[in-house]
Amino acid sequence: MSKRRIFGRTAIERLKKLLLSVKSFEPHLTEREPNWIAWISKLGLNSEVADKLVTQLKHLWLLPFADVPAVAEILVFKHTEIDRLRERFRQTKDLEGERLCALYDLLVRMSLQGFSVIPQNPAHLAQQTAQVLRFPRERRTHLRPLLDLLVDEATCEPLTGFNTAEVANPETIIECEHERREGLMERAWKADFKYHDFAQSVRDQPEFQRDWSRLKTRFKLAQFADADGVIRRSGLREGSWRQPVFSDLSREESRFRVAFDFFAWKWFLYGMRGDEPLVQKLAYTLTPFGTQIFIPGYWSFDPKRDLNWKKILRLHRARGVARQGEKINLSRAQRLEQGQRLLSGEAEARRSGLRGEARYALLKRRAGLNDRTDDAQVRRMLREARNSSAR
């Protein structure tokens, strides 16, 4: 995996400037952002902790799909209560309590990674974890399956398998989530004429106009529109051919849903806004399990000429995908083995009280390095070994 970057004030300001350069993105990024310093002023935090909290709240404000009140609440809990609770659990030798604190920290970090890369809502899970931390042990039962999956019993370190809770490039994920929220998939297109020509042909088609007029006559459409005035077709499920859905015609709402889905199917739509057809777009989406590319059925797809693959691959790699290949994998395996030997040598040096040249000599022998290997390189290799061991 790639090295994770700390998402600090400089990165936040850089990303905010980038987002504000796109006119279609939400204007609330500057117009309605709370005065976070005033907002936390009653918490009585020291300046260092207050600065960290404000930085994370500014980060939160840039996330287009975040539940801002929920995430703000868990951030405050993290900076005001979690350390006190963790120390209490240490003093009482309550290892499960310490692990719950580690789970809470992990869920908070997940909450700031963007909507796309986590399979459940980490902010709401963190809220429930906070409630359990505040109350007696018998309330912990329902969190134990998650705790066993995500937090090591011995070290309290996070367990995320081959996935990650801290992506390598959060800026790209947040930018693409803003594009997704505003429906701006065309920012990665090279052949937008295919979409616009097809959309115009739908609008000009008499049969489309007839279908829509009949739906407006048979149903009160306002009740099926969302807050933006859009009526959407049913969402597609992954592997939907294995999940048959019973098409109920006994209720008006279900009758409309069935009819509207077939209407959208006829004209390759994802919805209607008023009388305007919303034609299905060539789309790419980051999910917790990978990156999806959706090619509409009407689109004659040319992979070389239709998409900006550099932009899409930058999103796909944002979570921290390592390069792959037989030679690369062999080299990586060798580095991991060498790193384990270094860590073993470090533990032996610590037990023996070795320092300075004697310590580095032992580390080089254990890792099979030349005696002339620079000590700085050994330190760098140790850091990489510790990071790999922690993941």
- pLDDT of amino acid 148: 95
298, two tokens: 């009407």
- Between helices 95-111 and 122-134, what is the axis angle to 10°? 150
Q: Say if residues 316 and 176 touch (Cβ distance below 8 Å).
A: no
116 and 286 Cβ atoms separated by less than 8 Å: yes
**Tokens representing residue 95 in the block:** 């290892």
Is the overall model pTM greater than 0.85, yes or no? no
Q: Whole-angstrom Cα distance, residue 269 to residue 312?
A: 23
Token pair of 266 as six digits: 């006829």
Q: Is the pLDDT of residue 152 over 80?
A: yes
In contact, 391 and 164? CB cutoff 8 Å: yes
Q: What is the pLDDT of residues 353-370, one digit of tens each?
A: 888 888 888 888 888 888
Is a pLDDT exceeding 50 seen at residue 2? no
Res 330: pLDDT:
52
Q: How many CB atoms lie within 10 A of CB 377?
A: 11
Mean pLDDT calculated for residue range 2-13: 67
Summarised one tens digit per residue, pLDDT across range 211-270 is 999 999 999 999 999 998 999 999 887 766 566 678 889 999 999 999 999 999 999 999
pLDDT band for 138, please (50, 70, 90 cuts): confident
C-alpha closest to that of 284 among 317, 254, 256? 317
C-alpha 313/C-alpha 109 separation (Å) is 24
pLDDT at 3: 42
| pLDDT grade for 346, boundaries at 50, 70 and 90 | confident
Q: What pLDDT shows up at residue 325?
A: 59
pLDDT of residue 20: 87
Dihedral over Cα of 42, 47, 49, 53: its sign: positive
Name the one residue in this structure whose structure tokens are 């703000």: 72
Beta strands 276-279 and 269-273 are antiparallel
The Cβ-side half-sphere exposure at 199, using a 13 Å CA radius, reads: 17
Cβ neighbours of residue 158 closer than 8 Å, sequence gap 6 or more: 102, 106, 150, 151, 152, 165
Q: Which of 125, 126, 188, 173 is nearest to 5 (CA)?
A: 173
| Residue 351 confidence (pLDDT) above 90 | no
Q: Residue ranges of the domains in the chain? A: 9-177, 190-281, 326-390
Query: Each residue of 283-308: b (16+ CB within 10 Å) or e?
Result: bbebeeeebeeeebebbeeeeeebbe
pLDDT band with cut points at 50, 70 and 90 for residue 133: very high
Average pLDDT over residues 87-98: 94
| Residue 389 confidence class, pLDDT cut points 50, 70, 90 | low
- What is the rounded distance in angstroms from the CA atom of residue 62 to the CA atom of residue 19? 9
